[in-house]
Amino acid sequence: MAIKPWRATCIQMSSTAASNATSRAEAWSIIDGNIDRAIVAIENACAGPNPPKMVVLPEFAFQGPPRATPASVWIEQACTTIPGQITDRFAILAKRLGIYIAGNHFEVDPRWPNRFFNACFLLDPKGEIILRYRRINTATWTSPHDILDDYREAYGEEGIFPVVDTELGQLAIMPCGEITVPELSRVFMLRGAEVIIHPSNEPISPRSEAAKICRAAENMVYVISTNVAGSIGFSANGEEMGGQSQIVDFTGNFLAFEKEPTESIEATAMIDIEALRAARRDKGMSNVLLRSRWQMYKSYFEAAEFYPANGLVDRPLETGAEVAPVLTEAMANLMVSGVVVPEEAEVGAEPQKIAG
């Protein structure tokens, strides 16, 4: 059955960080306040004559980032499961409004009680979690790649690179800076994704803005990217602004663009999945997927083992500084491969192996 065009809306909202809270009660007072604002914004977006079928919230919208908070404290004070204390409130809203709601929050998993994940979620109109993705490319928090063997055993490839088939098309989700990692979007596309949902919390930069257009065009997918309003979560003095929520079509053209960093629901557009599918079937020059020859590059990626898998399997991070030995090994591998040219004193450097 053909999929009718449907509307997506970016909920560009500000967020109060819970990282300065001194207790779980104080942190959750902040988190609940952020959720309250999100709910009002979603209700406003759905109140007009052309309501969206999907709304997308920013990264870190509810808890804010942990900043320098130790992992054990952050887990105790601000984290929850998916489904859980945050998504349950949006599940009620999704059912009431009959919409899909996408968002992001820091999640804990009973399998690894001393770790937390930067996780994205998608709720369907029944209020059910149909998509959960935990950030892979992260520098300071646990990635599935850091515990890869255990994680793959628990969740399989579908749990690492999830794509869900829905009445809106095939959907994937990933947060913030991962839009600049072309391999991730490529894998989602290869698994069938037609829409990449992108909750974000980042300053405006040429790299990230170009990446949104490139990921959409090179994979022939829609990108629905919602950034935080006001200052970003990691802005120490509050001067680095978010904004520029946007919807990009599968040719790399803007369908919607909110230029200002203020709270807004104006970045909204129609998503035409059947047009995308027709473009992917086309045998003309505009079909970039048809003429891509990925097997030519396979051996290079198979050899590119730089950042060590399972690097934190025996010792969860308490602070970001503890990832230093893993980064040292990754840098040494890059140097040995020739990708990174070492300083003269480092010529011949061998990878530093991490003690188990």
Torsion of CA 69, 71, 77, 80, to 10 degrees: 130
Q: What is the pLDDT of residue 349?
A: 58
pLDDT tens per residue across all 356 residues of the chain? 899 999 999 999 999 999 999 999 999 999 999 999 999 999 999 998 999 999 999 999 999 999 999 999 999 999 999 999 999 999 999 999 999 999 999 999 999 999 999 999 999 999 999 999 999 999 789 999 999 999 999 999 999 999 999 999 999 999 999 999 999 999 999 999 999 999 999 999 999 999 999 999 999 999 999 999 999 999 878 899 999 999 999 999 999 999 999 999 999 999 999 999 999 999 999 999 999 999 999 999 999 999 999 999 998 999 988 999 999 999 999 999 999 999 875 555 565 554 43
Q: What is the pLDDT of residue 356?
A: 37
Pairing status of strand 195-199 against strand 100-109: unpaired
Q: Is 51 exposed, middle or buried (0-12, 13-18, 19+ CB in 10 A)?
A: middle
Secondary structure class of 251 (helix, strand, coil): coil
- In order of 33, 206, 287, the CA distances from 214 in angstroms are 36, 12, 14
Is the distance from CB of 306 to CB of 332 less than 8 angstroms?
no
> Tokens representing 314?
């025996």
Among the listed residues 356, 314, 311, the one whose alpha carbon sits nearest the alpha carbon of residue 332? 311
Q: Whole-model pTM above 0.85? A: yes
Q: What is the pLDDT of residue 270?
A: 98
Q: How far apart are CA 35 and CA 11, in angstroms?
A: 12
- In order of 11, 132, 152, 172, 260, the CA distances from 246 in angstroms are 10, 22, 33, 17, 11
> Tokens representing 5?
């065009």
Q: What is the pLDDT of residue 344?
A: 78
Q: How does pLDDT run across 53-95, given as a tens digit for each residue?
A: 999 999 999 999 999 999 999 999 999 999 999 999 999 999 9
Is the distance from CB of 321 to CB of 315 less than 8 angstroms?
no
Among the listed residues 101, 110, 20, the one whose alpha carbon sits nearest the alpha carbon of residue 64? 20
DSSP 8-state assignment for residue 353: P
Q: What is the pLDDT of residue 345?
A: 57
Q: Is 238 exposed, middle or buried (0-12, 13-18, 19+ CB in 10 A)?
A: exposed
Domains of the chain plus CATH, in order, are: 6-292 (3.60.110.10), 295-346 (no CATH)
Q: Which residues pair with 103 in a beta bridge?
A: 121
For helices 24-45 and 87-97, angle between their N-to-C axes, nearest 10 degrees? 20
Q: How far apart are CA 9 and CA 153, in angstroms?
A: 36
Q: Length of the chain, please? A: 356
Is the distance from CB of 78 to CB of 51 less than 8 angstroms?
no
